[in-house]
Structure 1
Amino acid sequence: MATGTTDSPATLYAPVSIGLGVIALISTFFLGILATLAGLLAITFGVLGLVSSVEVNRVQCWIGLATGAVGVLFPVWFLFGYTGGV
C-alpha cells in the first residue's frame, strides 16, 4: 500500500454532490419531489466536501451546492407561484 494516498470516503463527496445536483436539475421539470430530495442530498454532500479535512476538489463541491440549491428552490418557487403562495 502506498503511503500518502488520499483514499477515503471524503474524496467522493464532490462527485456525488455534482451527480445528485444534475439529477435534481433534470428532474425539476418532471418530478418535483425527486428534485427536492436529490437537491437536498447534493447540498449535504457539497457542504460535507467543503468542510472535510481531506483535500477535495472544492470547485466541484460548489457546483454541486449550486445545482442542488436550484433543484430545491425551483420546484418550491413553482409551487408557490401556481398556488398563490399558500
Structure 2
Amino acid sequence: MATGTAESPATLYAPVSLGLGVVAVVLSFFLAVFALLAGALAVTFGVLGLVSRVPVNRTQCYIGLAAGAVGVLLPLFFLFAYTGGL
C-alpha cells in the first residue's frame, strides 16, 4: 500500500475520533473511567487526523476533538464539584 492513497488507514482517523468523542460524552454521565479513556483516544485520533497528509474529513476531526475534550473534562469537573477535589 502506497503512502497517501485513498486506501490508507489514516482515512479512518476522522470517523473514529467522532465516534469515540460521542461515546465519551455519553459515558461521562455514567462511567467516568471509560469516558476518560474514550475521550483521550478521541483527542488522539482527532489530532492524528488533522496532521495527516491523507485527505480526511477535517470537520469530523474537529468535532471529535472537541467532544473528546468534553468527555475528558466533564468527569473531572464532576469529580472536583462533588468531592471537593481528589
State the shift of 1:35 in Å: 0.4
Matched with 1:77 is 77
Amino acid of the residue matched to residue 8 of structure 1? Answer: S
Residue by residue over 1:34-73, the C-alpha shift from the partner in whole angstroms, topping out at 9 and shown as x without a partner, is 1000000000000000000101010000000000000000
What 5-or-longer segments of structure 1 have no aligned partner? none
Question: 2: distance between equivalents of 1:76 and 1:18?
Answer: 21
1:48 corresponds to: 48
Identity of aligned pairs, percent? 71
Specify the code of the residue in structure 2 equivalent to 1:84. Answer: G
1:6 is matched with 6
**Residue type matched to 1:78 in 2?**
F
* Aligned residues: CA RMSD: 1.3
Contact 2:5-2:54 at 8 Å conserved across structures: no
> How many equivalent pairs are there?
83
Which sections of structure 2, spanning at least 5 residues, go unmatched? none
Larger CA Rg, structure 1 vs 2: 1
Distance of 2:64 and 2:84 partners within structure 1: 30
Q: Matches of 2:5 and 2:75 in 1, distance apart?
A: 41
TM-score of the superposition, structure 2-length normalised?
0.92
**Whole-angstrom CA distance in 1 between matches of 2:28 and 2:5:** 38
Paired AA for residue 58 in structure 1: R
